[in-house]
Structure 1
Amino acid sequence: MVKLDNLWKQTTDAPIVGNLVGKKAFSFLFSQVAPYFGSIHATMTVLEPNHAELVIPDKRRVHNHIGTVHAIALCNGLEMAMGALAEVTIPRTKRWIPKGMTVSYTAKAVGDITCVATTTQDQWDSAEGDLEVKVQGLTKDGTVVIDGVITLWVTTKKQK
């Protein structure tokens, strides 16, 4: 597979496609690698080392019984943002796998939700074992609707 950061640059920097179309194309392609991500129809808006953001659109397909964005759709968005962040941040000598997720639902998720994942480079450079990725989901006005941590298991790749 093409490295994720290269795919991001190829799709979002192409002058013919345009930035928004490129971001949608990237998001579609990324969800082909991990198909469950496609269930929320999110669009990655920011992807750089230690920081990723995507938007889950407020559509009926992601609603729960009270008409807000479903808790599991939110968790899926947080994991998608974390996974993209991990792929563009991790040193080439290391590998990662998700180990767990702890979240708190802090407000009703109404409208489009921006999912954000953040780390620091120091976390990755010294990682061996658990690495905590901070994740949040926010409404357009900045209200945090979900807040948490996704724990990754990071190990050094074995020499061939």
Structure 2
Amino acid sequence: MSQVLNLWQKTTNLPVVGEALGTRAFSLVFGQKAPYFFSIRPRFTVIEPNHAELVIKDRRRVHNHIGTVHAIALCNGLEAAMGALAEASIPKDKRWIPKGMEVAYTAKAAGDVTCIAQTDPEQWVSDNPDLPVRVRGELADGTVVIEGEIRLWVTSKS
């Protein structure tokens, strides 16, 4: 099991801490490992192989000039979700690095945004090093405010 998935399970399953504090603890540790992501203060809510979710709270620090969640903050959230998914999904004998991102902004991000990253299990065992990760950001009512793909380069460690 990957370090990220192991840490997620430990922090969210501690009976003394509880799931809400466990997700907060995990999110803080993840932000320390990749400090740039901490700028959006992501709150992870789901981490499992082939699926990760986090929430970007609607607050002034992530706003643009019109008072909605800034496009780059959204991309930062999508990349953080993708990174957690990749770490939870990748076979032990492989490594990954982001290769590119293409997104479309589909609606104003007025509210908390849930950033979602998804893959299919067979993508990780393919011999093709190009691995597309589907990403999207949604408001609480299901409105998609950003969607796209982050391409990874997945190779053998040896």
**How high is the TM-score relative to the length of structure 1?**
0.96
User: Are 2:130 and 1:130 aligned?
Assistant: yes
Q: Structure 1 unaligned runs (5+)?
A: none
Structure 2: distance between partners of 1:101 and 1:59: 25
Residue 23 of structure 1 corresponds to 23
Query: What are the superposed Cα offsets for residues 16-50 of structure 1, whole Å, 9 maximum, x if unpaired?
Result: 01101100110010011100000001100000000
Letter in 2 for 1:133: V
Query: What are the superposed Cα offsets for residues 29-75 of structure 1, whole Å, 9 maximum, x if unpaired?
Result: 00111000000011000000000000000010000000000000000
Q: Identity rate of aligned residues, in percent?
A: 65
Query: What are the superposed Cα offsets for residues 83-111 of structure 1, whole Å, 9 maximum, x if unpaired?
Result: 00000100111100000000000000010
Shift in Å, 1:129: 1.6
Structure 2: distance between partners of 1:127 and 1:56: 34
Residue 154 of structure 2 corresponds to 154
Structure 1: distance between partners of 2:14 and 2:127: 34
Structure 1: distance between partners of 2:157 and 2:24: 32
Does the C-alpha gap of structure 1 residues 112 and 127 become closer, same or farther in structure 2, counting only changes over 3 Å? Answer: farther
- Contact 1:128/1:156, CA 8 A, preserved across alignment: no
User: Are 2:113 and 1:113 aligned?
Assistant: yes
Letter in 2 for 1:138: E
Residue 43 of structure 2 corresponds to 43
Structure 1: distance between partners of 2:149 and 2:70: 18
Q: Structure 2 unaligned runs (5+)?
A: none
**How high is the TM-score relative to the length of structure 2?**
0.98
Q: Structure 1 stretches (4+) deviating beyond 4 angstroms?
A: none
RMSD in angstroms over aligned alpha carbons? 0.9
Task: Report SS of the residue matched to 1:27.
Answer: helix
What number of residue pairs does the alignment pair up?
157
Does the C-alpha gap of structure 1 residues 61 and 127 become closer, same or farther in structure 2, counting only changes over 3 Å? Answer: farther
Residue 57 of structure 2 corresponds to 57
Structure 2: distance between partners of 1:142 and 1:125: 32
Structure 1: distance between partners of 2:107 and 2:23: 28
Residue 145 of structure 1 corresponds to 145
Does the C-alpha gap of structure 1 residues 89 and 131 become closer, same or farther in structure 2, counting only changes over 3 Å? Answer: same
- Contact 1:127/1:154, CA 8 A, preserved across alignment: no
